[in-house]
Amino acid sequence: MRLTLLLGGTSSERNVSLASGLRMAAALREAGHEVRLLDPATGPIDGPTEASMRERAVGSAWPSDAELTALRAGDRSSSLPMHPLVRDADCIVLALHGGHGEDGTVQALLDLSGVPYTGSGAMATAIAMDKDMTKRILSHCGVPTAPWRMVPVSAEVAIGALGLPLIVKPNREGSTVGLTIVKERGQFEPAVAEALRYDREVMCEAFVPGRELTVPVLAGEALPVGEIIPVKEIYDYECKYTPGMAQEVFPADLSPEVTQQVQRYAVRAYSALKLSGCARIDFRLTVEGTLACLEANTLPGMTALSLVPQSALAAGMTFVELCDRLVVDAVR
């Protein structure tokens, strides 16, 4: 098939998106597809530019504010419905992370083109990106999640309701961008200010100690559960994209009962949020054996260090087969 792969974009997760997209492009070409690359922020990416980009690593930090401001000033996303690389494609492959690529904006624009695309639709993507809305839906459908409060809320009320430590994070961001673990009263306001740099809405969430679990769901079926063991207190941006900063175990060393329960919760969350394609649902497992859903990722990373490819491999699916499956499912 003739595919156009969208990567890059203008979010804080731009570097991760570029790494995911370049790796997916190589896999899809190996599967026999014709793949063109299109960055909504800067335009088409030619062969020499792609070859140069492949030499770069994701890095342990997201782009600077100045870089993102410049990219957003020249953003070309609004032209996507009529772009020649979109109009003549059999399918659009989405490797965007965060921002307009994962808040439903790009999906809504692609709906206008009439060309099928990988991942969830505009409404489901927008809802899943909104952590507050996601938690409301999960709570309603019986998927346990950590208690939370939305800013504006005073430090006293937040700490009284959620205890310490607590998490302060942007409501609509990924890869732990702008996230702070608040361990004492004096850290609260600076943490809120940091989160407000990335989103106008900020969530305060109870910190759930325990094991970090993740469950990819592909076309409604749960893949093997993974456990993430970061070298730091939390699985942050640096741990996710720096080799050696985290150990990922697939399948996770869990009892059959816990494995089945977390997979059931993941599929229930996937269904309740009306997701499609491949999504990743993250959980914490406490020492008491209780589960808490942290969030749903509608366009999970596909880098060499990312979790979904590792889970797929544990299920006997190569990365080439995984990427090809995403396209086939989207066209079907």
Q: Is 75 a catalytic residue?
A: no
Q: Which is catalytic among the residues 21, 98, 99, 301?
A: 301
Are 109 and 28 members of one domain?
A: yes
How far apart (Å, rounded) are the C-alpha atoms in residues 289 and 291?
Answer: 7
Q: One of 241, 248, 265, 270 is an active-site residue; which one?
A: 241
Would you call 282 a catalytic residue per the annotation? yes
Asked if residue 100 and residue 8 are part of one domain, the reply reads yes
Q: Where a domain ends, among 180, 206, 232?
A: 206
The yes-or-no answer on residue 43 being catalytic is no
pLDDT digits (tens, 9 = 90+) for 290-308: 999 999 999 999 998 899 9
Same domain, 19 and 53: yes
> Could you say which of 162, 188, 206 is where a domain stops?
206
Residues 6+ apart with CB under 8 A from 13: 62, 97, 98, 99, 174, 175, 177
Range of the domain at 276: 129-144+209-318
Q: Which of 17, 171, 175, 306 is catalytic?
A: 175
Whether residue 104 lies inside any domain: the answer is yes
Residues 209, 210, 214, 220, Cα dihedral to 10°: -90
Residue 153 one-letter amino acid: V
318 Rama sector, left if φ>0, alpha if ψ -120 to 50, beta otherwise: beta
Q: Are residues 251 and 108 in the same domain?
A: no
Q: Which pTM was predicted?
A: 0.92
Domain boundary among 157, 188, 206: 206
Burial of 21 per CB tally in 10 Å (0-12, 13-18, 19+): buried
**Helix, coil or strand: residue 317:** coil
Give catalytic status of residue 297 as yes or no.
Answer: yes
One domain for residues 291 and 305: yes
Q: Which residues contact 201 (CB under 8 A, 6 or more apart)?
A: 132, 150, 151, 170, 171, 172
Give catalytic status of residue 184 as yes or no.
no
Query: Residues 187, 226: one domain?
Result: no
Residue 296 lies in a domain: yes
Residues 49 and 187 in one domain: no
The gap from C-alpha 257 to its chain's centroid, in whole angstroms, comes to 27
Question: What are the tens digits of pLDDT across the range 184-209?
Answer: 999 999 999 999 998 999 999 999 99
Catalytic residue chosen out of the listed positions 295, 306, 324, 325: 295
> Looking at the structure, do residues 101 and 40 belong to the same domain, yes or no?
yes
Residue 124 lies in a domain: no
**pLDDT, tens digit (0-9, with 9 covering 90-100), for 117-169:** 999 999 999 999 999 999 999 999 999 999 999 999 999 999 999 999 999 99
| 33 and 96 together in one domain | yes
CA 312/CA 217 separation, integer angstroms: 10
Residue 154 belongs to domain with CATH number: 3.30.1490.20
11 is annotated as an active-site residue: no
